Amino acid sequence: MTDYRLTYHLAPRQGWLNDPNGLCVHNGKIQIYYQADPDSLTGSCRKCWGHFTTTDFRHYTDCGLAVEPVERFESHGAYSGSALSLDGQLHLFYTGNVKEPGDHDYIRSGRQHNTIHAVSQDGLRFDQKQVILTNADYPDFCSCHVRDPKVNPTADGYEMVLGARTLDDEGCALLYRSCDLQQWQLDAVLRSAAKMGYMWECPDLLHFDQADVLLCCPQGLERQGYHYENVYDNGYFILHGDEARTYRTLDHGFDFYAPQTFLDPQGRRILIGWLGLPDTDYTIPTKTWMHALTLPRELRFEDGRLKQRVIEELRPGPALTEAVKQTKAPETFVLKACPQGALTLTIDGLKLVYENGLLTLDCSQCGAGRTLRHVELDKLDELELYLDVSSVEIFINDGEVSLTSRCFFDGSVRNVAASCDFTLYQAPRIEIESRESA
């Protein structure tokens, strides 16, 4: 019986994975941490940080667990955060979750969200842990939900952005500054003029030449037509001072959340997301492992918006077909097409349709409860689709729009058909070895 194991995505050997954390370069290696629970398929037992490293995005080392919640100020989990490499040391900043006993709603009382600073030389173990912010340090208007610190260097020190939920159930982000990574002062509260959900999770502050952008995951957005179809959205605001304006969804698929970015040695802004989503009414039928990370994507700000493109190292291999309208294919491949108008594409039970300005992803026959997702598009000129054994990542018009989802098929042969010519290419290949065998 298949366990739908992915072939070119990072996933846990066993247990649970969620948010990517601590993305950075340290000691000449790209560090990819993630939320891990090796003892559970629900993420409810022991929330730790798992760890991969790579130098080329093709060959990875699974380094096991880097952070475990062993201190009382993180007793209910080492939650999400970020990393900063500085003078040969790797500094982690993350949320230590503590749930107090008693009759609490754990929103307005009963929860400690401690911001923790941990230091390591090798990035493998973080035994030096210090609480730098507690609930008492956050603004009085905040609930107990303040988490997911993302730290960046600035010209005159460091900035930290934290996601928050106010006592009035409005989402916002808190911007702190420091000159020494130890003492932090609140500098600004980033808000939208109109309410955009009750909590902004996983914030990431990006500074492009053209604009400052706040990535975050607003929880509590009500569906509006074809907008905000998922239980929790993911997206970004264009910042004008402290005001967050012009919100756009980043990925429109069923399974994308908690993206985090870093600058690689080439100066590219690389984004990795969680190929999953919490609190869904659809399932994942894997038996020994749960969830994965998306393909690394280069993030660009062009024409007033963010665009995503799979990094060059994982671009498609040699062509598997000529330009065709129908073919049998292996379990994994990359598909490219230039529809220049309406489109109907089927891959066994997966269907993608574009007509009358609306793109529809239909997973109702292969999605384990997933049904339809939509994007309104002025045109569909170019399509690039990455299919793994149980995932699909779709990029439209050079990354202007993306849709990421899990999908579950029978057998090892895919039947592909479209209303326009397409070409199939060899899927990327990666290798993962454990640190013990490296």
Q: Are 249 and 376 in contact (CB under 8 A)?
A: no
Residue 308 has what pLDDT? 98
Strands 142-154 and 157-166: antiparallel
Residue 127 has what pLDDT? 80
Burial class (CB in 10 A: 0-12, 13-18, 19+), 148: buried
The pLDDT tens digits for 339-358 are: 988 999 999 999 999 999 99
> What residues does each domain of the chain span?
15-313, 316-431
- Rounded Cα distance between 150 and 315, Å, is 29
Q: Does residue 1 carry a pLDDT above 70? A: no
- Exposed e or buried b per residue across 404-430, where buried means at least 16 C-beta atoms within 10 angstroms of its C-beta: bbbbbbeeeebebebbbebbbbebbeb
Calculate Rg over the CA atoms of the chain.
Answer: 21
Q: What is the mean pLDDT of residues 365-369?
A: 98
The CATH classification of domain 316-431, taken from the options 3.20.20.70, 2.40.50.100, 2.60.120.560, 1.50.10.100: 2.60.120.560
Q: What is the mean pLDDT of residues 324-341?
A: 97
CATH class of 15-313: mainly beta
The pLDDT tens digits for 409-437 are: 999 999 999 999 999 999 999 999 998 75
Q: Does residue 304 carry a pLDDT above 80? A: yes
Q: Which of 19, 204, 233, 388 is an active site residue?
A: 19
Question: Is 264 among the residues known to form the active site?
Answer: no
Q: Does residue 438 carry a pLDDT above 60? A: no
Q: Which amino acid is at 102?
A: G
The pLDDT tens digits for 247-268 are: 999 999 999 999 999 999 999 9
pLDDT cut 90: percent of the chain above it: 98
Cα dihedral 42, 45, 51, 52 sign: negative
- Rounded Cα distance between 234 and 72, Å, is 32
Averaged pLDDT score across all residues of the chain: 97
Q: Does residue 302 carry a pLDDT above 70? A: yes
Q: What is the mean pLDDT of residues 155-162?
A: 98
Distance of CA 416 to the CA centre of its chain: 28
Residue 437 has what pLDDT? 58
Give the contacts of 420 (CB within 8 A, at least 6 positions apart): 325, 337, 338, 339, 340, 343
State the pTM of this model.
0.98
Q: What are phi and psi of 369, to 5 degrees?
A: 105, -15
The residues pairing with 243 across neighbouring beta strands, listed in sequence order, are 191, 240
